[in-house]
Chain A
Amino acid sequence: MKVLLSWLRDFAPFEGDPVALGDTMSDLGMAVESLDRLGEGLDGIVVAKVLDLRPHPDADRIQLVDVDAGDGEARQIACGAFNMAVGDHVPLATIGTTMPDGMEIARRKMRGQWSNGMLCSGRELALGDDHSGIFVLPSDTTPGHDVSDALGIESDVLYDLEINPNRPDAMSVAGVARDLAARLGLPFQLPAPSPATSAVLATERARVEIVDTDLCGRFVGYVLHDVTVGESPRWLANRLTALGMRPINSLVDVSNYVMLELGQPNHAYDLARLGGGGLRVRRARDGETLVTLDDVERRLTTDDLLICDLDDVPNGIAGVMGGEAAEISATTTDVLLELAWFQPMAVARTARRLGLRTEASARFEKGTDPEVLELAGRRFAELLGAEAQLAGGLIDERGDLPAREPVRVRTARVNQVIGTDLDTGAVAALLEPIGFDISGADDGLDVAVPSWRPDTETEIDVVEEVARHHGYSRIPRRVPRSSISGGLTPRQRDRRRVRNALVGLGFTEVMPMPFLAPGDLARAGLDDDGIDVANPLVAEESVMRTSLLPGICKVLAYNASHRHADVSIFEVGHVYNRPSEPDAVLPDERERVAVAIGAAEAPAAVQAWRSLAAHLGIGHSLEAAEIPGLHPSRAARILVDGRDVGSVGEIDPDVLAAFDVPGRVGWFDVDLTTLLAQRHGPEAYVPVRLYPSSDLDLAFEVDDTVPAATVEATLRDAAGDLLVELDLFDVFRGGAVPDGRRSLAFRLRFQAPDRTLTDAELADLRTRCIDAAQSALPATLRG
């Protein structure tokens, strides 16, 4: 919402520094997004008359213009605009002028031709946004006069305010002034127009009927006759221009002016073109269509409210946009002026469904003031002045308006919420200036909320008003003493340990978006059953991932294409699966951790997983398995206490090819929720054994089909309690070892807690281990 300081001053005597005034608006919740000083820096810009226009001999986009700046002399100007004609009056920035944007005008050559100044656009004059051509001045201006005098421009301040959705009252200049005057303790005065009326009676010339009273709470109609549509006075046009509206003609301009000033959208109909001489307010029929003023055919539903004439021909969508049927034209003489209150939610729904947000709908959907309608009508007629006759009386039809009950506001509650120590009188003194009607009650106040504050319905709404006008910055600050002890949950601490352990192992954390393109899951060798986004921005982001694999593949491909194929990366993120329970309210959402090692094979992934598991103190086993998305003979399930927590191995080469990832990629992927729910971390201390230890190296030749883990488990079982360490330290194929078999060498360290082991004991342990391996497995001891 834009407001001019001069316009605000129509309602209250605001003085002082405009910046400080802006700060006060911000402090009241009407945040100043920009502050512009208008009409300053126009010294040296004068009215000039175009004498001649001719092409530049050496440039197509520049023409040469001779102007008379009041002294009768022709000055040549080179100009890039072509919208003026001989005889037009235009603004000329003379030599030596400093423009509002700081540019200094000097005599200079453009493509070899002298330019003795600059002709200005609206934007160059800081009078608006128009930069499409030169700002052609009215013909009654005098060459040589200052443009600012000629246009009646007074220096002014333009504020652009951000208005919160709960402040419909501040969607008007008067509303902003009311709030600001209250804070500053200044008297606030609304306009009190009393335009003369003719002998004609409005009720005799037009009729209005509200059919759907639930959507239209009130409809006030005024009749204006003997209307002549002309140009608006310059001051009014200037104000509209400053607030970003283009002046059209006196009728349209006044309509906009009233809306901006009082917040009441309104609509003027050509009464002669209204069938039946009036209006009917009714719901649209399903599929009914209407061409709106922007020349678009709109298809409507029974949720939409129409303004029709009494022949039932639609003339506009209530609160959103008018239609063409009874549009005002140059021949209009009689006008029916609509001032109505429409149900906010209904307007919001219609505007949203049609994708049609207008100045009117933006106000109606927040809730307009049903009591400002007559004032707005009289103000309309007053501003139109002699260009129309106002018929006597008014049409005033009523539908359903929300009931407004007084709100009980307990003084203690005010202070309980805000943290102040206000007494009842102080609370009342903050509310009365913004129009709240106060009467005393036992424990506080009964507050009648004004009609322009539909947002304020309950005690807490009023408390907010008290806080706002007291000033948020004046509330004494204190830090509450938390009555609980802060900290992370074990799960949150563990997740940090997972991340930090992976970083320590050289992995970098990535965060691909959780959206996938259709087909990504299938390309990753997974079931293509991701949950779809109903309204995706783009198709590439329309499926929720069920696995971290596709997203990581894309990251690998991206980095490989930038010559970093060997990245080691991880992600901790959510995946979203269809729930197994048919009546689940939400998808099965889980947190997973995935690790990818570019340019590496499965063993690197196993080492990384083992390091992470060791760091967390999680015992696990691996079980060879075919896992979707992974290399079919280089993948294993990770089991913790027999429970499947994830998988490790190498990404399937076909998957890598589908995502344009070169080389091989080691991979593991674990369900963090399940993993961290398993028992982990050190438990009871195992005393360090202090007697001498003895090592035993054993190498077995074993079939490739027998997992090393099985050999290891067999040895561990046979070695018993005296075994303190067991490591696989060498794997050997070829040479004397036949095809299909390999040599596995283990080092076993034995140590007793209470004695030095004897040679006989060690020999016995050796025999037991060898026998166990050779009898239980197809394994033979190697010499």
Chain B
Amino acid sequence: MIDDLERLHDAGRQRVAAATDLDALHEVDVEVLGKRSELSALKQKLGAMDADERRSAGRRLNEVRSALEVHIAERRRQLESDARRARLAAERLDLTEVIDTTELGHLHLVTQAHDQLEDVFVGMGFTVAEGPEIETEWYNFGALNFPPDHPARAMYDTLYVEFGEPESTLLRTHTSPVQMRVLEANDPPIYVVCPGRVFRSDTPDASHMPVFHQIEGLVVDRGITMGDLAGTLEAFTSAYFGGAIHSRLRPSYFPFTEPSAEFDITCVICEGSGCQTCKRTGWIELGGCGMVHPNVLRNGGVDPEEYTGFAFGFGTDRLSLMRYGISDLREMFTNDIRFLRQF
């Protein structure tokens, strides 16, 4: 009996090992351990044996049976794993042979710059205002304290349109008319930026376009001083350009602000050590600013004794030129897809 068991054990192991797929293993399972297997037949014979023999033969029979069950289970796991591997291997794909069918869209650099600038100022508690691109002479000049025939008007090469009286309607030369519209429509406190498209009668060259973009800021509240102006521009400068970039004010002249200033920032190319871009000064001129002129506040219906304010403005296209090393402003407006899709 014991010998038969040992024989069945050895033969069973060999047959399990020889099964090469799950179906064959199933057959082996039935034949070795099933009801009609030799092992089952031997179990029937146990009843005829005496007690001692039956105990030892019975124990051995159970041992052989469990051992074969373990072998079969192990073999099944292995065959299943092989089968899965083979199935997935057959599904192999070369992921570099994929054909691109979707073209990505891109926002224009002007939009990207304005979105970023708006976000910085929104974070500082500003809202965003807009106005028409075709403006009246009053909003563009008169309300901003440019008297008629004032030489300061000649600083702006104005494009006029044939609408109404001659020279009554123009393409706004700056975003400042939005200031006046905001002042008229709102009571202080006012914290607003106005990004937009502006126009000048400039022949296109590497740094000029007849159509370009600006952002304007206006704050009118009680107790606003030039110190607030300087501090706001400094906070903006480090938020937008990074902590290494600072700002400074230099006296200047604009009819709609007084005191007026140019504001410079640390050269973003050399960070102040001096280079070609900043003509070795370490600074680049960014824009104009100043305390809102009392006449402008009055024109906007605000009492300049009760409220003071500051305004600032600068061109935004140059920010993109500096950031991406674009040497010619005209390239930004060719609308060449090979340019646009780089950003």
> Closest chain B residue to A590 by CB distance?
B132
Size of interface on A: residues with Cβ below 8 Å to B? 89
In Å, the complex CA distance between A482 and B335 comes to: 39
- The B296-343 residues at the A interface (CB cut-off 8 A) are 308, 333-338, 340-341
The answer, yes or no, to whether B102 is at the interface (CB within 8 Å) is: yes
What chain B residues lie within 8 Å of A569 (beta carbons)? 335, 337
Cβ contacts A to B, 30 pairs, < 8 Å:
A167-B253, A366-B151, A416-B223, A416-B308, A417-B225, A417-B226, A417-B259, A417-B308, A419-B225, A461-B258, A467-B251, A472-B226, A472-B250, A475-B225, A475-B227, A475-B249, A477-B231, A478-B227, A483-B191, A483-B221, A486-B125, A489-B127, A511-B108, A514-B211, A534-B161, A544-B161, A559-B335, A569-B335, A574-B132, A586-B132
Q: Tell me the complex Cα distance, A740–B80, Å.
A: 59
Q: Does B15 contact A (CB under 8 A)?
A: no
In chain B, positions 69-119 with a C-beta closer than 8 Å to chain A are 102-108, 110-111, 115, 118
CB contacts (< 8 Å) of B104 on chain A: these are 503, 506
With the chains together, A359 CA to B232 CA distance in Å? 39
Name the residue on A nearest B228 (C-beta): A480
* Chain A: CB-nearest residue to B149: A345
Asked if B169 is at the interface of the complex by the 8 Å CB criterion, the answer is yes
> When the two chains form their complex, are residues B336 and A482 in contact, meaning their CB atoms are under 8 A apart?
no
Q: A417-B308, A536-B159, A589-B133 are in contact. Are A506 and B103 (CB under 8 A)?
A: yes
Residue on B nearest A476 in the bound complex, by CB: B227
CB distance from A559 to the nearest CB of B (A): 5
Q: How far is the CB of B109 from chain A (nearest CB, A)?
A: 9
List residues of chain B with CB within 8 A of the CB of A349: 149
Contact B226 A467 (CB under 8 A): yes
Indicate whether A767 reaches chain B with its CB closer than 8 angstroms: no
B window 28-48: CB within 8 A of A: none
- Among A400-418, those with CB < 8 Å from B are 415-418
Which A residues are CB-close (under 8 A) to B173? Answer: none
Q: Determine which residue in A167, A477, A488, A492 has the highest number of CB atoms from chain B within 10 A of its CB, and name it.
A: A477
Bound complex: CA A611 to CA B336 (Å) = 26
Separation in Å of the B341 CB from the closest CB of chain A? 6
Which of A344, A534, A576 meets B166, CB within 8 Å? A534
Which of B106, B108, B128, B225 has most A Cβ within 10 Å? B225
Q: Does A564 contact B (CB under 8 A)?
A: yes
Report the minimum CB–CB distance from B234 to chain A (whole Å): 6
Determine whether A436 belongs to the interface, using a CB cutoff of 8 Å to chain B: no
A534 to B170, CA, bound (A): 9
Asked whether, in the complex, the Cβ of B249 is within 8 Å of the Cβ of A472, the reply is yes
Q: Which of A29, A484, A488, A533 contacts B252 (CB 8 A)?
A: A29
Of A461, A513, A515, A586, the residue contacting B135 (CB under 8 A) is: A586
Q: Which of A144-182 contact B (CB under 8 A)?
A: 164-167
B162 within 8 A of A: yes
Q: Complex Cα distance A723/B2, Å?
A: 75
Which residues of the partner chain A approach B191 to less than 8 Å between Cβ atoms? 480, 482-484, 486
| Residues A475 and B226 in contact in the complex (CB < 8 Å), given A164-B253, A486-B126 | yes
- Closest Cβ–Cβ distance, residue B268 to chain A (whole Å): 20
> Within 8 Å of chain B (Cβ to Cβ): is A504?
yes
Q: Is the CB of B293 within 8 A of A587?
A: no
Q: State whether the Cβ of A562 lies closer than 8 Å to any Cβ in chain B.
A: yes
Considering only CB atoms, which chain B residue lies closest to A480 in the complex?
B228
Bound complex: CA A574 to CA B161 (Å): 15
Q: Does A52 contact B (CB under 8 A)?
A: no
Q: Is the interface of B mostly helix, strand, loop or mixed?
A: mixed
Q: Could you tell me how many residues of chain B have their Cβ less than 8 Å away from some Cβ of chain A? A: 84
B12 interface hit (Cβ, 8 Å): no
The residues in A between 532 and 546 inclusive whose CB is less than 8 angstroms from any CB of B are 532-537, 541, 544
Q: Are B337 and A508 in contact (CB under 8 A)?
A: yes
Is there contact, CB below 8 Å, between A416 and B136? no
Check: B152 CB closer than 8 A to any chain A CB: yes
Encoded as 1 (CB less than 8 Å from any B CB) or 0, chain A from 469 to 510 comes to 000110111111111111111001000100110111111111
Write out the residue numbers on chain B whose beta carbons fall within 8 Å of the beta carbon of A420.
Answer: 227
Is there contact, CB below 8 Å, between B115 and A513? Answer: no
A31 within 8 A of B: yes
A479 touches B228 (CB 8 A): yes
Residues of B within 8 A of A481 (CB): 125
Could you tell me the distance between the alpha carbons of A478 and B225 in the complex, rounded to whole angstroms? 9
Contact with B along A346-375 (1 / 0, CB 8 A): 001100100000000000011000000000
Whether A419 and B155, one on each chain, are in contact in the complex, defined by CB atoms closer than 8 angstroms, is no
Q: Is the CB of A568 within 8 A of B335?
A: no
Min CB distance, B245 to chain A, in Å? Answer: 15
> Within 8 Å of chain B (Cβ to Cβ): is A324?
no
- Interchain CB contact under 8 A, A509 and B227: no
Tell me the smallest distance from the CB of A538 to a CB of chain B, in Å. Answer: 9
Residues of A within 8 A of B160 (CB): 533-535
Tell me whether A463 and B123 are in contact in the complex, defined as CB-CB below 8 angstroms, given that A164-B252, A348-B151, A535-B160 are known contacts. no
Q: B226 to A468, Cβ gap below 8 A?
A: no
On chain B, the residues within 8 Å of A510 by CB distance are 108, 335, 340
Q: Closest B residue to A573 by CB, please name it.
A: B197
CB of A585 within 8 A of chain B? yes
Mask, B125-145, CB within 8 Å of A = 1, is 111100011111000000000
Give residues in A with beta carbon < 8 Å to B.
Answer: 26-29, 31, 164-167, 344-345, 348-349, 352, 365-366, 415-420, 458, 460-461, 463-464, 467-468, 472-473, 475-489, 492, 496, 499-500, 502-515, 531-537, 541, 544, 555, 558-559, 562, 564, 567-570, 572, 574, 576, 585-587, 589
Considering the chains assembled together, what is the distance between the CA atoms of A505 and B115 in angstroms?
Answer: 20
Q: What is the bound-complex CA distance between A380 and B167, given in angstroms?
A: 44
Give, as a whole number of angstroms, the nearest-CB distance from A345 to chain B. Answer: 5
CB distance from A603 to the nearest CB of B (A): 17
**A559→B260 CA distance, assembly (Å):** 45
Once the chains bind, are A509 and B111 in contact (CB under 8 Å)?
yes
CA distance A507 to B340 in the complex (A): 11
Q: Are A479 and B341 in contact (CB-based, < 8 A)?
A: no
Residue B206 at the A interface, CB < 8 A?
no
Rounded to whole angstroms, the CA-CA distance of A472 and B226 in the bound complex is 9
Determine which of A165, A476, A477 lies in contact with B151 in the assembled complex, contact meaning CB atoms within 8 Å. Answer: A165
Return chain B residues, CB-CB under 8 Å to A558: 334-336
Contact partner of B122 (CB less than 8 A), chosen from A418, A479, A486, A534, is A486
* B235 at interface by CB-CB < 8 Å: yes
Query: Is B124 in contact with chain A by the CB < 8 A criterion?
Result: yes
In the complex, what residue of chain A is closest to B202 when comparing beta carbons?
Answer: A537
- Given A165-B152, A475-B226, A477-B234, does the pair A564, B106 have CB atoms closer than 8 Å? no
Partner of A505, one of B105, B211, B228, B338: B105
> Complex formed: what's the CA distance from A324 to B171 in Å?
42
| A507, B105: Cβ atoms closer than 8 Å | yes
How close is A495's CB to chain B, nearest CB, in angstroms? 10
Cβ contacts under 8 Å, B340 to chain A: 508-510
Q: Quick one: given A419-B226, A510-B108, are A484 and B151 in contact (CB under 8 Å)?
A: no
Q: A711 to B251, alpha carbons, bound, how many Å?
A: 71
Q: Is the CB of B159 within 8 A of A535?
A: yes
Q: A559: which B residues are within 8 A, CB to CB?
A: 335-337
In the bound complex, CA of A444 to CA of B1 (Å): 127
Question: Are B338 and A562 interface neighbours, CB within 8 A?
Answer: yes
> What's the nearest-Cβ distance from chain A to residue B53, in Å?
65
Q: Nearest Cβ in chain B — how far from A303, in angstroms? A: 10
> Which B residue sits closest to A509, measured CB to CB?
B108
Q: A468-B259, A564-B338 given as contacts; is B221 within 8 A of A537 (CB)?
A: no
| Binary flags per residue of B144-160, CB closer than 8 Å to A gives 1, else 0 | 00000111101100011
Known: A345-B149, A508-B341, A534-B162. A26 touches B250 (CB 8 A): yes
B108 A537 Cβ-Cβ under 8 A: no
In whole angstroms, how far apart are the Cα atoms of A108 and B227 in the complex?
Answer: 62
User: Does B54 sit at the interface, judged by CB under 8 A?
Assistant: no
Q: List A contacts of B338 (CB < 8 A).
A: 562, 564
Q: Are A504 and B227 in contact (CB under 8 A)?
A: no
A407 to chain B, nearest CB (A): 13
Residue of A nearest to B291 (CB): A417
Q: Are B228 and A478 in contact (CB under 8 A)?
A: yes
In angstroms, how far is the closest chain B Cβ from the Cβ of A613? 17
